Amino acid sequence: MTTDPNTTAPNATAPTNYKVEKTDEEWRAELTPEQYAVLRQAGTERAWTGELLDESRSGIYTCAACDAELFKSGTKFDSGCGWPSFYESVNPDAVELLEDRSLGVVRTEVRCANCGSHLGHVFDDGFGTPTGDRYCMNSLSLDFKEQ
């Protein structure tokens, strides 16, 4: 797992008008250290290691920090990138998209719109998908609920 020293915790750089707001101490108490590093410090789990990468059952993917619904299983696809990939969120208001220049390149960070937790990044290289987008998400940022 890597964390970028140039990226601060989600609530430190974004508006604090999320439906779910907690202190850093509360987040640390509720999340595993690995989840905290990804969700609250914008870290990234190693490629090909996430528990949800090969998940293929029908269901909904939710935020591991606040349980907000984020992605439907029907939008998940194998992008070959090593992280769970989706071509769209469950609805446009489910995620927040922010410019990220932390690695010296411009990317689009994806955060949970309900709690501000870091989920991953979205790229416009989802070739063959209905939207052309690839939401590249950390498994540690997500929970899966079978339907």
> Which one from 63, 112, 115, 136 is the annotated catalytic residue?
136
Mean pLDDT computed over 121-131: 94
Q: Residue 7 above 60 pLDDT?
A: no
pLDDT number for residue 2 = 45
Mean pLDDT within 55-61: 98
> What's the pTM?
0.88
Per-residue model confidence (pLDDT) at position 103: 81
* pLDDT, tens digit (0-9, with 9 covering 90-100), for 90-109: 999 999 999 999 888 899 99
CA distance readout (Å), 23 to 10, 12, 20, 33, 99: 12, 11, 10, 15, 24
Per-residue confidence band for 20, with pLDDT thresholds at 50, 70 and 90: very high
Question: Is pLDDT above 50 for 88?
Answer: yes
pLDDT, average across residues 77-88: 97
- Output the pLDDT for position 102: 86
The mean pLDDT of 26-48, rounded to a whole number, is 97
Q: What is the mean pLDDT of the chain?
A: 91
Annotated active-site residue 112? The verdict is no
Residue 11 has pLDDT above 70, yes or no: no
- On whether the 10-49+58-146 domain is CATH 2.170.150.20, my answer is yes
Domain ranges (residues) in the chain: 10-49+58-146
Residue 16's pLDDT is: 63
For every residue of 46-107, which 3-state class applies, written as one string?
CCCCCCCCCCCCCEEEEECCCCCEEEEHHHEECCCCCCCEECCCCCCCCEEEEEECCCCCCE
Would you state the pLDDT for residue 17? Answer: 87
